[in-house]
Amino acid sequence: MRLHDNLDYHARQAPDSIFAEMGERQISYAEAQLEANRLANALIAEGLQIGDRVAILSKNSIEMAVFYFACSKAGVAPVPLNYRLAPPEWAYILNDSGSKLLVAQPELAAALEPVRQDLGEIKRFLSVNGKAEGCDELSDFVAGQPTTAPDRFVPLTADLYQMYTSGTTGRPKGAVLSQEAVCWQLYQAMVGFSISSGERGLIVAPMYHAAAGICTFAIVGGGGTLVIHEDFDPKAVVDALSDGGITVSLLVPAMIQFCLVAVPDVAERNYEKLRLLIYGASAIAEASLRQAMETFGCDFVQGYGMTETTAAVSYLMPEDHRRGLAGEPGLLLSAGRALIGTEIRIVDGEGKPVPNGTIGEVAARGPQLMRGYWNLEEATAEALRDGWMHTGDAGIMDDEGFVYIQDRVKDMIISGGENVYPREIEDVLYEHPAVAEAAVIGIPDEKWGETVKAVVVLKEGEEATSEELLAFCKGRLGGYKRPRSVDFIAALPRNPSGKVLKKDLREPYWAGHDRRVG
């Protein structure tokens, strides 16, 4: 099965059902299929071959959803760009990927002007949903192309897309995902999410991101309707979940938190049609998860994984969440168990499995793993050692196979020879009623090598002192784990996936030191 086979199947079986809607605009499965065919034929007519790269720079849109399926039909690999990056960062990815064509929203195409002369591989610039200087319009590009399926066989081994990692510790790397890997992940997601026809899936997480991509594909795979929001707005999301007939959605933890604190009547709304909320991409505080489960009253699934694994290697399923609420609260801190067809193990520095209950690096293997990093043989060999994806996450596995992520291996703090995992301290800080967000980092210390610092965002209208928070931790954490200082800031720095950029928090403290962390 290839990605576009799902679109073609549902266009045949239920051509008039709604493929996607955005605001007042709707497009049926039959219309989406014709648009995908037209664009695929245009890409082939442009001379693009199987395996060529084409980039898209857009906020969430119906066109972006269709773009993935059209590229699948043509056998070319989309390179979705994070629209929040700066133009030089876009230029790096475009040049690194060798993309031959770029589709962009007009305002984003205009933002590329300062680096456009450096984009030697791009043969054609196209604008979507409006005119842009120096770009042909996508509508003109596809005009006159046949609406029949292109006469090109795309094998399962073909590259489906190339997504760039967040680059929290250096240059982003292009993870190459094949048709086979993504379709395996699609099957795993549909088993986990139980998507069926008639579902209305809210897509508000950015579609250039791995998690939002697989959720988009899973909703289409089940014959559901994509309800697309261009940007995240907490009130608009809560409105959709309560009044828009949404049955399933993916929200990163930061979005869930914003919905809970920024919409005054969120707890008074009725969410009777909402069946499932999927979350992942970063850690969520147990208190926030409990509040969300109580507020929305639906099932929850947590996905754990990374771009290099298409999206996920494990799920914490609804029944696991229910166990957590029914007397096993520790389960709410778990990242779940391995997906069907996937193996997870915890390994030491030499890649050897460690006993259950022992901290090590999380490694996974399964059919959804990337082919490798684009043009980075050494990095690929390091990440995919012996066929296992080494995630860089420190974790523990229990005897039932549940995985508990402690932190990034590089975020571990070594204080006086003791390993300190910030996640454990952050969970304690989240228990304080005044704390909205918390991040724990290691800073240099002449005596201990590193010492623990907490960086805290307070809830609106709440007050707390550093002394108060230090005292709060005293009875809840061992002495070597407790923060020695607290800084207060307005907001934690995050990448577009919602992950806290701890390197940015550490930077002022480690400037001028030979030993750097992360």
My answer on whether 337 and 370 are in the same domain is yes
Look at residue 429 and tell me if it is in a domain: yes
pLDDT at residue number 496? 63
Q: Which amino acid is at 100?
A: K
pLDDT tens digits along 433-472: 999 999 999 998 866 778 899 999 999 999 999 999 999 9
pLDDT at residue number 287? 83
Look at residue 183 and tell me if it is in a domain: no
SS (HEC) of 254-278: HHHHHHHHHCCCHHHCCCCCCCEEE
pLDDT at residue number 170? 58
pLDDT at residue number 165? 86
Q: Which amino acid is at 91?
A: A
My answer on whether 389 and 484 are in the same domain is no
My answer on whether 366 and 481 are in the same domain is no
My answer on whether 399 and 484 are in the same domain is no
My answer on whether 393 and 337 are in the same domain is yes
SS (HEC) of 63-100: HHHHHHHHHHHHCCEEEECCCCCCHHHHHHHHHHHCCC
DSSP code string of 301-329: EEEE--GGGSS-SEEE-HHHHHHHHTT-G
pLDDT at residue number 514? 43
My answer on whether 362 and 482 are in the same domain is no
Alpha helix segments (H runs only) across 384-448: 422-430
Residue where one domain finishes, among candidates 408, 424, 439: 408
My answer on whether 428 and 358 are in the same domain is no
Look at residue 186 and tell me if it is in a domain: no
Q: Give the predicted TM-score (pTM) of the model.
A: 0.84
Look at residue 515 and tell me if it is in a domain: no
pLDDT at residue number 27? 98
Spatial separation of the C-alpha atoms in residues 83 and 209, rounded to whole Å: 11
Q: Strand 136-137 relative to strand 124-127: parallel, antiparallel, unpaired?
A: parallel
Look at residue 187 and tell me if it is in a domain: no
Tokens in use for 272? 């009777």
Look at residue 193 and tell me if it is in a domain: no
pLDDT tens digits along 389-421: 999 888 999 999 999 988 777 777 877 666 677
How many domains is the chain built from?
3
Residue where one domain finishes, among candidates 356, 384, 408: 408
My answer on whether 404 and 449 are in the same domain is no
- What does the pLDDT profile of the chain (518 residues) look like in tens digits? 999 999 999 999 999 999 999 999 999 999 999 999 999 999 999 999 999 999 999 999 999 999 999 999 999 999 999 898 888 889 999 999 999 999 999 999 999 998 999 998 899 999 999 999 999 999 999 999 999 999 999 999 999 999 998 654 457 899 999 999 999 999 999 999 999 999 999 999 999 999 999 999 999 999 999 999 999 999 999 999 999 999 999 998 888 988 998 999 999 999 999 999 999 876 677 888 999 999 999 999 999 999 999 999 999 999 999 999 999 999 998 999 999 999 999 999 899 999 999 999 999 999 999 999 999 999 999 999 999 999 988 899 999 999 998 877 777 787 766 667 788 889 889 999 999 999 999 998 866 778 899 999 999 999 999 999 999 998 788 777 889 999 999 999 987 667 788 888 988 888 866 433 33
Look at residue 490 and tell me if it is in a domain: yes
Q: What is the CATH number of the domain that holds 269?
A: 3.40.50.12780
SS (HEC) of 18-62: EEEEECCEEEEHHHHHHHHHHHHHHHHHCCCCCCCEEEEECCCCH
My answer on whether 381 and 278 are in the same domain is yes
Q: What's the CA dihedral at 379, 382, 385, 390 to 10 degrees?
A: -100
My answer on whether 12 and 160 are in the same domain is yes
Residue where one domain finishes, among candidates 176, 192, 217: 176
Q: What is the CATH number of the domain that holds 492?
A: 3.30.300.30
My answer on whether 7 and 102 are in the same domain is yes
My answer on whether 13 and 82 are in the same domain is yes
Look at residue 189 and tell me if it is in a domain: no
Residue 11: CB atoms within 10 A of its CB come to 22
Instruction: Choose among 90, 168, 165: nearest CA to 507.
Output: 168
Q: How far is CA 353 from CA 23, 347, 362, 363, in A?
A: 50, 4, 10, 9
> The domain containing residue 488 runs over which residues?
416-510
